[in-house]
Amino acid sequence: MKFAIFGNTYQAKKSSHAVTLFKLLKKQGAEIGMCREFYQFLVSENMDIKADQLFDGDDFTADMVISIGGDGTFLKAARRVGRKGIPILGINTGRLGFLADISPEEMEETFDEIQNGRYSVEERSVLQLICNDKHLQDSPYALNEIAILKRDSSSMISIRTAINGAYLNTYQADGLVIATPTGSTAYSLSVGGPIIVPHSNTIAITPVAPHSLNVRPIVIRDDWEITLDVESRSHNFLVAIDGRSETCKETTQLTIRRADYSIKVVKRFNHIFFDTLRSKMMWGADGRR
């Protein structure tokens, strides 16, 4: 198999896992392509890494992409994969890790399974932002969420929201998070949004610190279109697409819809979402024992 590898370039202490990964892949006779930035980082940390090919941007091909880091690294890899349709495996050297959910200790067993074809591939929906802001249109796709947020210490913003042209609500809040099921366990969850099972074909709309306590998250079908008009005393606001933020003018109208492609996520053949959820959220854990 041919692998393309992306990695976290900020955690030198954890980069040793990459050496183990390379040894496993070479042992299997795999062809290894590598993001140049990650390669240079590892070399600068005096690690003996030999790749068959280095690449920049999205100029690569592979049978499978490997992301070694946390969920943030996985999101960056997904952005580089885009419409290529290459499945992505996430090895977690970060913190929580819902997308990157293979621990370094599981690598050897996992790649043995992959070599024998014993793995599954899940299709995850992607959101697309449509607007007239050129900066946002450079990379308008989100695997996790698109967030509309006030700037720094400015006052609340007003977000007029319509679904398929029908008025829903004007949110007086610090922001609004539009999340896929994949992103429901990320930013949306931290501001009180619901956990959504993957493949449920839905989108969650969750306000950030709303002025009215009556305002609650709402879940809609993912083939519906969301239109947002924002008012702000500072006459601008932030749009964050999977954490990458840009400042927008108040007059910018935003349309959010499901993208016409999906991201493929590699899971171990015995993976069950509820097991991951229970483990990551520590449901049932009792510190008294």
Active site annotation includes 71: yes
155 marked ligand binding residue: no
213 marked ligand binding residue: no
Cβ atoms < 10 Å from Cβ of 57: 8
174 marked ligand binding residue: yes
C-alpha to C-alpha distance for 127 and 286, rounded to whole angstroms: 37
209 marked ligand binding residue: yes
Phi, psi of 89 (to 5 degrees): -105, 130
Under 8 Å CB-to-CB from 40, ≥6 apart: which residues?
Answer: none
187 marked ligand binding residue: yes
103 marked ligand binding residue: no
186 marked ligand binding residue: yes
Annotated catalytic residue within 71, 101, 222, 242: 71
120 marked ligand binding residue: no
Which residues carry a binding-site annotation for NAD(+)?
A: 71-72, 76, 144-145, 174, 185-190, 209
Annotated binding site: 71-72, 76, 144-145, 174, 185-190, 209
**Active site members:** 71
